[in-house]
Structure 1
């Protein structure tokens, strides 16, 4: 996330340069997405997941794998993802996202406001679908559930004994 500031500066410089209109418009649009709360939320979530899964990924890439170590890493990775998925984990995560946004002058939405789904799905959305629900359930929990599902599918109780052979 150290590169966020410099990347924003470069995009703003491109947007300020009026020499090529279409590039300027693209830079303006890119900066709008880059400086949105939703982008930062997803960026921070990706960073958290990558940090949790990095050691497991490295262990699985080694040709001479220590299978006992891999089994432990699978278990600890699942546990860390479960902890992140907890209410306490979410609170710590959202605090980190909000602090990042405050440090970079990014608008923080009112989580109690109704979230309007894009792409014509707004008519089918449930009443009282708040921004809090969108970020917490539709992005945060859904993403972590997918990660945990894949780990459970690939490293289930039937698969782990085979890996030890």
Structure 2
């Protein structure tokens, strides 16, 4: 059972929504906010972000819906699933990872939207790649304390039991075995840093120096403003990335051919 299936159940959702509309959750055309969960798409990062954002915004309503389903569900299986989801959503780990993934998707959202456009500004895309990676790196190095404060604020607001950072960390899979680390160390290094390191490494693999050079070189082929960005040196750099497609003779002739090509193209109304 997914959150979207439960929260969009017409009977349970409508009953609980009336309560929250009276004051728990302020909505309306001014905020332009939907009272429902979105189904995350398979490839669109933005859809995942919206789903997580609704989980945070609609958290009290969702918990009430789950409580209603637990008590009034059509089958015991559905009632049991609703109860299990409540237990999971009341855990500190759930809130921790919910906010962490929200922040990561928020940082990467602008780049994601840019790369999905049909008419792409490749120079801007390349710049966004660098900016996004720097934001993730800065967040990893300096963002933990403020991040934990946000998580704690959410827990306090919704009566979720917080983890004491100075207590010994206990692995729930092996509760009797000492881990020799504090909760602070586990959540900062084994969770927060580990997730961000994975994201930063993925950025490095997907957008390495060759890829960035490729984006910048391709940008000079755009037809905007009568091929204003056209650059023979950049195109020649692009050629170097395809050594099997251009021999030495091709490379020698290419500057002249490109100059003739762009002159002819600009003269063609």
- Normalising by structure 1, what TM-score? 0.88
Partner of 2:199: 147
Q: Specify which of 57, 62, 84 is matched with residue 2 of structure 1.
A: 57
Distance 1:116 1:59 in 2: 43
Larger relative contact order (Cα-Cα within 8 Å, sequence gap ≥ 6): 1
Distance 2:173 2:124 in 1: 45
Question: Is the contact between residue 92 and residue 161 of structure 2 (CA under 8 Å) also seen in structure 1?
Answer: yes
Distance 2:109 2:167 in 1: 36
- Number of aligned positions between the proteins: 162
Name the larger-Rg structure: 2
CA RMSD of aligned residues (A): 2.0
Partner of 2:209: 157
Q: Which moved more, 1:19-28 or 1:102-111?
A: 19-28
Deviation at 1:129, TM superposition (A): 2.2
- Normalising by structure 2, what TM-score? 0.56
Question: Is the contact between residue 123 and residue 215 of structure 2 (CA under 8 Å) also seen in structure 1?
Answer: no
CA gap 1:20/1:85 in 2 versus in 1, 3 angstroms? same
Partner of 1:97: 151
Which ranges of structure 1 fall in alignment gaps of 5 or more residues?
none
Which ranges of structure 2 fall in alignment gaps of 5 or more residues?
1-55, 219-269
Distance 1:115 1:16 in 2: 35
CA gap 1:10/1:155 in 2 versus in 1, 3 angstroms? same
